[in-house]
Amino acid sequence: MKLLKEKVMTEGIVLSNQVLKVDSFLNHQMDPELMREIGGEFARRFAGEKITKVLTIESSGIAPAIMTALELKVPMIFARKHKSLTLKDDILVEKVYSFTKRETNEITVSKKFLSPSDRVLIIDDFLANGEAAFGLARIVEQVGASVAGIGIVIEKSFQPGARLLEEAGYRVDSLVRVAALEDGVVTFVEEPN
Kindly list the residues in this chain that would bind ligand G4P in the complex (CB under 6 A): 19-22, 27, 59-61, 98-101, 125-132, 156, 161
Cβ closest to ligand G4P, residue 145 vs residue 152: 152
Residue 156 assigned as binding residue: yes
Residue 131, annotated as binding a ligand: yes
Is 130 annotated as ligand-binding?
yes
CA dihedral 42, 118, 134, 192 (to 10 degrees): -30
Give least dist CB 118 to ligand G4P, A: 22
- Please say which residue, 29 or 59, places its beta carbon nearer to ligand G4P: 59
With respect to ligand G4P, which residue has the nearer C-beta, 84 or 117? Answer: 84
What is the secondary structure of 10-43 as a DSSP string? HH-EE-SSS-EE-TTTTSSS--HHHHHHHHHHHH
Distance, CA of 65 to CA of 70 (rounded, Å) = 9
Consult the annotation and say whether 128 binds a ligand: yes
- Helix or strand holding residue 55 (H, E): strand 53-57
What are the start-end ranges of the H helices in 117-172? 131-142, 161-167
Q: Cite the annotated binding site by residue number.
A: 20, 27, 128-132, 156
Residues annotated in a binding site for xanthine: 20, 27, 156
